[in-house]
Amino acid sequence: MRTALTELLNIEYPIIQGAMAWVSESNLVAAVANAGATGVIALGGRDVEWARNEIRACKELTDKPFGVNLMLMADNKDELLTVIIEEKPAFVTLGAGNPVPYIKPLQEAGIKVIPVVPSLKLAKRIEEAGADAIIIEGMEAGGHIGSQTTMALMENILPEINIPVIVAGGIVDGRGLAAALIMGAQGAQMGSRFILAEECKAHPNMKNAIIKATDTDSVVTGLLSGHGGVRSLRNEFTDRYIAAETDGKTTPEERSQMAKGTNKLAAVDGDVVNGAVQVGQGLNRLTKIEPARFIIQEVTHEAIMEIRKAKRLIDLI
């Protein structure tokens, strides 16, 4: 498949395995890159040494392009930026802050810059600032979410932006990829589906909880804290958190303390009762663990079939 995204990143398929804190590291990212798509190492919550080692480990495992994700609210973002500029992954995705000041320094180091954008206003500013592409991520996604659905973002942003737009949030198969491409996107970013990749080191308890879950099993916590919500599987942790949000007795600081470390607790330690099993809403299709290569081949094959079917609609007119 060829789109502006495959051209930009020199990859075969227009699929990015999105950054997932405590989940996406070199093993998964290299497997995805070797299969012809591309992946992103999540630096969220990690120190500088880990970041450097993972980027180097990934280069050992693949000679294909891959990216890293820098969360702009991280206390160590400047140190991480230095590591990124020295290690030169093919691209960087930027989120949770204003990416504009980071665009030029990264590009001058030969690194492509792809911010994750929640609104048209920011998308336009970022396009003007010279970003290589943007990712729009709907609230169907796992992890931190914005306020618009994937469909609303596509309708609001795709007609207005000329650099390549990649769509994320609730896309788990080729139907979703085809829909994004037909609407004018140049690719899709998927996170949740890749948690179930064989090469993904997320704890088996997290993978099994996702396999067991169905479409209505995720909830959003943190909506009342003012920093946007976080989508995870409903469990004892989310029940406790949501009760604390609504009982009027806790402060946002106390709740942020309650949530601290819960993504790691689920993904690394496998505590799917007290941890946050962050995952998107496309749950019914997340049914089995399989190699990253199978996921990419199936998604692209399905997308091609869907696009062919869509073409028949015109031929019938």
How far apart CA 273 and CA 262 sit, in angstroms, is 10
Q: Closer CB to ligand FMN, residue 8 or residue 139?
A: 139
Q: Closer CB to ligand FMN, residue 243 or residue 273?
A: 273
Residue 258 tokens read as 């309650």
Q: Does 19 bind ligand FMN (CB under 6 A)?
A: yes
Q: Does 153 bind ligand FMN (CB under 6 A)?
A: no
Q: Which of 146, 164, 170, 187 binds ligand FMN (CB under 6 A)?
A: 170
- The least CB distance from residue 276 to ligand FMN, in Å, is 8
How far apart CA 176 and CA 181 sit, in angstroms, is 9
Q: Closer CB to ligand FMN, residue 191 or residue 244?
A: 191
- The least CB distance from residue 281 to ligand FMN, in Å, is 7
Q: What are phi and psi of 24, to 5 degrees?
A: -95, 110
| Residues 41 to 60 in contact with ligand FMN, rule: CB under 6 A | 42, 44
Which range of residues in 5-13, 57-65, 134-142, 296-304 is near ligand FMN by CB under 6 A?
134-142
Helices 174-183 and 292-315 pack at an angle, to 10 degrees, of 50
Q: Does 169 bind ligand FMN (CB under 6 A)?
A: yes
Q: Does 23 bind ligand FMN (CB under 6 A)?
A: yes
Torsion of CA 224, 229, 233, 236, to 10 degrees: -30
Compute CA distances 69 → 4, 6, 23, 45, 81, whole Å. 21, 19, 12, 11, 10
Q: Closer CB to ligand FMN, residue 211 or residue 250?
A: 211
Q: Closer CB to ligand FMN, residue 106 or residue 247?
A: 106
Instruction: Kindly state the DSSP code that residue 159 receives in the 8-state scheme.
Output: G
Q: 261: closest CA among 243, 281, 237, 244? A: 237
Residue 140 tokens read as 């169907």
Q: 15: closest CA among 27, 3, 30, 28? A: 3
How far apart CA 196 and CA 295 sit, in angstroms, is 9
Q: Which of 26, 69, 262, 300 binds ligand FMN (CB under 6 A)?
A: 69
Q: Does 143 bind ligand FMN (CB under 6 A)?
A: yes
Q: Which of 11, 15, 18, 200 binds ligand FMN (CB under 6 A)?
A: 18
Q: Does 190 bind ligand FMN (CB under 6 A)?
A: yes
Q: Does 168 bind ligand FMN (CB under 6 A)?
A: yes
Q: 114: closest CA among 28, 4, 195? A: 4
- The least CB distance from residue 314 to ligand FMN, in Å, is 30
| Residues 74 to 133 in contact with ligand FMN, rule: CB under 6 A | 93, 95, 116
- In this structure, the number of other CB atoms found within 10 A of the CB of residue 71 comes to 21
Give the binding site for ligand FMN (CB under 6 A): 18-21, 23, 42, 44, 69, 71, 93, 95, 116, 137, 140-143, 168-171, 189-192, 278-280, 282
